[in-house]
């Protein structure tokens, strides 16, 4: 593997991403990780990431003693390069101002740039610069502002780049990373097939003959995990899907049809009476969320006792959850415990989290290999509280039923017009607004429904989707013709921020 030591750059995760794309397994560890911890990963190469510090800062982060002496290639990026140069006896100059943005390399050569041709645009984000080389190093790239933009020592296999090869704004950066991997001599066999085999072997080794409990949400992560665990431990797995009565039309059946035939021991629990009873008359969004969270735990607990005892609880934790901060390992534990925090002590499980090292699109790839149908594999996210937060105000069975039918027309329409995969999320909201309309010769006084579709990379920000007018016209007609409780359809044209994606 390649070990990436994180010194706090916002791009550290992208380095891991690029290596994965090149078929190489890599691990991000905190910059301060002990030598012992690093050796556990059997590193064939080490990357020192960028970071906001200057090597002259009093608390400048440093790799543990011995890391720089490891007999493996080391690549320093930005701060990482300055650190390498500084500790090897070079000189780093504190610059008053920051160089930020694109720069063109005026010269490049050497091992890191092997095979690169033509102009090389590099993304810079630094204030300090290396001005005097340490012994044994050569300058292998320059820009007008930064004469020492890349350095290498082929004897000790130490390399440094001042720019960020991992970001898209350095279009030829992948070649630089690939050249480093070649020097490391690391196998490029980290493919989805390989990952699946390894994950299955790991789960078997960890679980033995123990029983495993898994909660199914209907989303891609938990569904894929169910398929993986079924392959690994078969009947030792009990997957519990709690139907709170706030799902989309046909969703429960879709999950059953996707998982049961592939060998998942699936328990479907209809808990709609409990959930809807507890939600009766509640209109405050946060109150709705609290009640639903509490009822989920209750229902899950009940099933755990019914089908248990279970030694293990499986969770679909992904790599981005694990490395949310530079905290690395510590952060991961907080998150895991947090996820099961609502369960009582006597249901003490050991956690199984096979996806802890994976990114979302790797999970999607594994899902494909395991046979998860595309309508689940490529599904938009759907919130845990379901339609409860899409019915403004108090929830009734009748309102759920209206919204399910509207939502189904909208979502099916998006699929039919090939727009589903062009939006990140789409939803319908049942508002409490009633307004006057005319149907045949009759005056109507019915509800308004709002449609919302957004594009988004990470759901932290989102743009409203520019759906074609023709499509919107068709959907609006279908809704008012088929759902008689609705006489007005509006389209939400607000981005996030200031609006959120959901209305509650």
Name the minimum Å distance from CB 462 to ligand XMP: 7
Tokens 């969703």 correspond to 251
Q: How many CB atoms lie within 10 A of CB 406?
A: 28
In the set 152, 166, 365, 504, the catalytic residue is 166
**Is 164 labeled as catalytic in the residue annotation?**
yes
- The pair of three-digit structure tokens given for residue 458, joined into one six-digit string: 């990470």
Binding-site member from 432, 459, 481, 484 for ligand XMP (CB under 6 A): 459
Distance CA 473, CA 412 (A): 15
Active-site entry in 86, 126, 152, 164:
164
Task: Compare residues 309 and 342 and give the one whose CB is closer to ligand XMP.
Answer: 342
Choosing from 162, 238, 425, 487, the residue that interacts with ligand XMP (CB under 6 A) is 425
Q: Which of 211, 119, 111, 125 is nearest to 156 (CA)?
A: 111
Please say which residue, 235 or 286, places its beta carbon nearer to ligand XMP: 286
Binding residues for ATP: 217-223
Contact 276, 245 (CB under 8 A): yes
Using rule CB under 6 A, residue 335 touches ligand XMP = no
250 binds ligand XMP (CB under 6 A): no
- Smallest gap from Cβ 361 to ligand XMP, in A, equals 17
Ranges of beta strands (E only) in 184-261 are: 212-216, 237-243
Binding flag, residue 315, ligand XMP (CB under 6 A): no
Q: List the one residue from 384, 437, 448, 491 that touches ligand XMP (CB under 6 A).
A: 384
| Count of C-beta atoms within a 10 Å radius of residue 87 | 14
Q: Which of 185, 342, 381, 468 binds ligand XMP (CB under 6 A)?
A: 381
Q: Locate tokens 């005056």: which residue?
A: 443
Contact present, 200 and 232 (Cβ < 8 Å): yes
Q: Compute how many residues bind ligand XMP; rule: CB under 6 A.
A: 11
Other C-beta atoms lying within 10 Å of the C-beta of residue 401:
14
Pairing of strands 212-216, 312-314: parallel
Measured CA to CA, the distance from residue 424 to residue 246 in angstroms comes to: 21
Measured from the CB of residue 318, what is the shortest distance to ligand XMP in angstroms? 14
DSSP codes joined into one string, 354-385 = TTTT--HHHHHHHHHHHT--HHHHTPPP--TT
Stretch that binds ligand XMP, among 8-16, 130-138, 172-180, 376-384 (CB under 6 A): 376-384
198 interacts with ligand XMP by CB under 6 A: no
* Closest CB 297 distance from ligand XMP, rounded Å: 14
Report the catalytic residues. 78, 164, 166
Binding site for ligand XMP (CB under 6 A): 289, 381, 383-385, 425, 459, 496, 500-502
């Amino acid at each position: 593997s390649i070990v990436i030591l994180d010194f706090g750059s916002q791009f550290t995760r992208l380095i891991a991403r690029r290596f994965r794309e090149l078929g190489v397994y890599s691990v991000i560890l905190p910059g301060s990780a002990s030598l012992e911890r690093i050796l556990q990963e059997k590193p064939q190469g080490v990357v020192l990431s960028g970071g906001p510090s200057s090597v002259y800062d009093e608390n400048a982060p440093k790799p543990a003693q011995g890391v720089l002496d490891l007999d493996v290639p080391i690549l320093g990026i930005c701060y990482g390069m300055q650190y390498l140069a500084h500790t090897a006896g070079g000189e780093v100059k504190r610059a008053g101002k920051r160089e930020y943005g694109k720069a063109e390399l005026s010269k490049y050569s050497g091992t890191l740039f092997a095979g690169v041709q033509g102009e090389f645009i590099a993304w810079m984000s630094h204030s300090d610069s290396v001005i005097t080389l340490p012994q044994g190093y050569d300058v292998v790239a320059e820009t007008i502002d930064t004469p020492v933009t890349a350095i290498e020592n082929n004897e000790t296999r130490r390399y440094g780049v001042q720019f960020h090869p991992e970001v898209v704004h350095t279009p030829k950066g992948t070649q630089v990373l690939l050249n480093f991997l070649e020097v490391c001599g690391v196998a490029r066999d980290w493919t989805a097939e390989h990952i699946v085999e390894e994950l299955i072997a790991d789960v078997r080794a960890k679980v033995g003959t123990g029983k495993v409990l898994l909660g199914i949400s209907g989303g891609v992560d938990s569904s894929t995990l169910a398929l993986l665990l079924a392959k690994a431990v078969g009947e030792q797995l009990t997957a519990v899907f709690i139907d709170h009565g706030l799902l989309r039309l046909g969703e429960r059946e879709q999950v059953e049809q996707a998982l049961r035939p592939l060998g998942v021991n699936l328990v479907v629990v209809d808990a709609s009476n409990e959930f809807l009873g507890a939600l009766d008359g509640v209109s405050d969004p946060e109150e709705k969320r609290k009640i639903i969270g509490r009822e989920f735990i209750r229902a899950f607990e009940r099933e755990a006792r019914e089908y248990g005892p279970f030694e293990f609880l499986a969770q679909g934790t992904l790599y981005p959850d694990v490395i949310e901060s530079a905290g690395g390992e510590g952060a991961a534990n907080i998150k895991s415990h947090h996820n099961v925090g609502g369960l009582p002590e006597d249901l003490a499980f050991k956690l199984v989290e096979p996806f802890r090292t994976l990114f979302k699109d790797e999970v999607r790839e594994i899902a494909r290999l395991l046979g998860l149908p595309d309508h689940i594999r490529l599904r938009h996210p759907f919130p845990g509280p379901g339609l409860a937060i899409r019915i403004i105000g108090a929830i009734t069975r009748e309102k759920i039923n209206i919204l399910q039918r509207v939502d189904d027309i909208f979502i099916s329409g998006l699929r039919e017009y090939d727009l589903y995969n062009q939006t990140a999320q789409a939803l319908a909201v049942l508002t409490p607004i009633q307004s006057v309309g005319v149907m045949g010769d009759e005056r109507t006084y019915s509800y308004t429904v709002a449609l919302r579709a957004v594009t988004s990379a990470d759901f932290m920000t989102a743009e409203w989707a520019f759906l074609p007018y023709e499509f919107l016209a068709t959907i609006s007609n279908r809704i008012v013709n088929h759902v008689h409780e609705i006489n007005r359809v509006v389209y939400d044209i607000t981005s996030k921020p200031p609006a959120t994606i959901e209305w509650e």
